[in-house]
Amino acid sequence: MISFGTRSHSESRRRPLDMMGQVFYKGEWMESGQDPLHSPTVFLAEQPPNCELLPHFHRQNQFQLFVEGEGTIGQAPLGPVTVHYAGAYTGYGPIHSGDAWLKYFTIRSTFDTGITWSTDWRGKMIRGPKRHAEAPAGRPWTVEQLATLRDIQRQTVIAADAGLGAELFMMPPNARQPLLPAAGSVGQFIFVLAGAALVDGTTLSLWESAFLPATDGEVVTTAGAQGAQVIALHMPPTAEPYLPQVAAASAE
């Protein structure tokens, strides 16, 4: 079943969070329950200026899509638009924000039970494959730039590998693009970075998203009257060594 992440949903689901004495904001854009196999979630994190978020890990695979502000993750620079991937039980960070608020979406195909800080890793970090990727996707296009296109432009952001990958599409007005999940993935998240796009009968505008399970196969995305820039994030399955721990945490 396709799930959607919308701005209208987030407007009533934005709240402050105390993170190490700093006030962050978290806005839920996509919520699908807590099923241990299929519960796609998307939320927008807003990190205050000149703030450090300590290294940590999660129990689920996740993407982060940095859409506003600048900073660093580890030693790598961040800016709109940067794609970051961290597999389950893969530590990452710290995340430093610059002189303005840093905004980024956290994206998972399965609900996660919470954050584990690096200071608490002993006894909680599990041995298994660690998987990490980070790549810039470039500045969002304007609708004026999209209007000049005659054909769809496609850009590989993270090369497809064992279910993981990221692709960017710049689409002229009313263009149609079939989107296939990467081989071995559990599905793909489609995010609109400029313009608007129609996915399975639902129109998505700026920063709105859809999760397309791999079982749905090919799904056609249609650009709106002003064109669309969309990014497809292909989510790999959870590595086998982590499955018992993930199931146990979901049952808590």
Work out the average pLDDT over 114-132: 88
Q: Is the pLDDT of residue 250 over 80?
A: no
- Are residues 113 and 23 both part of a single domain? yes
Largest CA distance in the chain: 55
The whole domain housing 184 covers 143-235
pLDDT score of 22 more than 60: yes
Q: Is residue 10 part of a domain?
A: yes
Looking at the structure, do residues 114 and 200 belong to the same domain, yes or no? Answer: no
**Does 217 lie in the same domain as 176?**
yes
Is residue 119 in a domain? yes
Total number of domains constituting the chain:
2
What six digits make up the tokens of 113? 């039970």
Dump pLDDT digits (tens) for 129-154. Answer: 999 999 999 999 999 999 999 999 99
Confidence at residue 205, expressed as pLDDT on a 0 to 100 scale: 98
| Whether the predicted pLDDT of 91 surpasses 90 | yes
pLDDT at res. 248: 58
The answer to whether position 207 is within a domain reads yes
Shared-domain flag, residues 120 and 164: no
Give the model confidence (pLDDT) of 170-194 as tens digits: 999 999 999 999 999 999 999 999 9
- What are the tokens at 71? 């900073």
Residues 227 and 158 in one domain: yes
**Which two tokens mark 142?**
């304007």
Q: Return the CATH number at 180.
A: 2.60.120.10
Is the same domain home to 105 and 181? no
Q: Are residue 125 and residue 210 in the same domain, yes or no?
A: no
Based on the domain organization, do 129 and 9 belong to the same domain? Answer: yes
Is 128 among the domain residues?
A: yes
Within 13 A of 50's CA, how many CA atoms are on the CB side?
A: 1
**Token pair of 111, please?**
């609900």
Average pLDDT, rounded, for the chain: 94
Residue 20 covered by a domain: yes
Name the band, by pLDDT with cuts 50, 70 and 90, for residue 1: confident
The predicted model gives 109-116 an average pLDDT of 91
Report d(CA 236, CA 218) in Å as an integer: 17
Asked if 130 and 147 sit in the same domain, the reply is no
224 has pLDDT over 90? yes
Is the pLDDT at 247 greater than 80? The verdict is no
Question: Domain check: are 131 and 8 in the same one?
Answer: yes
- Residue 37 above 60 pLDDT? yes
pLDDT at residue number 80: 97
DSSP for 63-123, please give it: EEEEEES-EEETTEEE-SSEEEEE-TT--B--EEE-SS-EEEEEEESS-----EEGGG-TT
Supply the pLDDT for residue 33: 92
pLDDT digits (tens, 9 = 90+) for 155-169: 999 999 999 999 999
Residue 4 clears pLDDT 80, i.e. is over it: yes
Going from the C-alpha of 32 to that of each of 43, 180, 197, 199, the distances in angstroms are: 12, 22, 22, 18
Minimum mean pLDDT among 60-64, 125-129, 246-250: which range?
Answer: 246-250
Integer Cα distance of 57 and 93 in angstroms:
9
Residue 251 lies in a domain: no
31: in domain: yes
Q: Is there a single domain that holds both residue 69 and residue 176?
A: no
Lowest mean pLDDT segment, chosen from 113-122, 138-147, 211-220: 113-122
Residue 243 lies in a domain: no
What is the model's pLDDT at position 249? 55
Q: Are residues 7 and 132 in the same domain?
A: yes
